[in-house]
Amino acid sequence: MSYERTLNRVETYFDKTATRTWERLTSDAPVSRIRETVRRGRDAMRTEILSRLPEDLCGARVLDAGCGAGQMTHELALRGADVTAVDISPSLVEIAARRLPIDLQGRVSFTAGDMLDPTLGQYDYVVAMDSLIYYTRPVLAEALAGLGARTRERIVFTVAPRTPLLMAMWHAGKMFPRSDRSPIMVPQAPDALARELARCTTASTLVPLKRTTSGFYISQALELVS
């Protein structure tokens, strides 16, 4: 499936079907045991991604690509970064903007739209937590190459790793009627993605980072270094 078609499905899901679910999941509100494991996993992965960036980001431009409800945006702004927080879901962008403390609002520019839009400009760092997990390997490689051309230092992002559990879930998800599906994660193997990326650009190096597993949350962090 093309980038545009997948993007439309992601927008429909997060902006209409699952907005309230994600608003609750990314808050302190009580959630089910299953969603609590996802919450803990996402918290751990956010910490891993942030560990790859300087503690002091004053003067740095950072793109939070797929900012969702704004938890990563908040942390980046606290470190002093000038943040562009972009998400395909206007509803989630609205939640993120509403949650950002007043004293940090001058550091963040919120945008509802395509995280790959070249008019967003150049950045020192890009973070993309769980926002590139729905795309096939060739589409993902092209997206990373495009972002990499506009990133001075590094891109830290996540993929769904090709584990037996996730592959079983992926095949099971294809059995449901299309109208009932959330966007399906496309599992990726870092080595295969690196080879695909090499066909698009030789200007960056792909480095596997930590894998986080917490109940139903399984995610692999990677780093694209200029």
For residue 50, give the CATH number of its domain: 3.40.50.150
Number of structural domains found in the chain:
1
Statement: residue 164 has pLDDT above 90: no
Mutual angle of helices 190-200 and 137-148, in 10-degree steps: 60
Cβ-contact 53, 156 below 8 angstroms: yes
Yes or no: say if 54 and 60 are a contact pair by the CB < 8 Å rule.
Answer: yes
Predicted local confidence at residue 16, as pLDDT: 86
The fraction of the chain above a pLDDT of 90, given in percent, is: 85
| Sign, Cα dihedral of 167, 168, 169, 170 | positive
Is residue 70 within 8 A of residue 95, CB to CB? The reply is yes
Would you tell me how many other CB atoms lie within 10 Å of the CB of residue 171? 10
Predicted TM-score (pTM) of this structure: 0.92
Q: In the chain, helix, strand, coil percent, each to 5?
A: 45, 25, 30
| Containing structural domain, residue 15 | 3-225
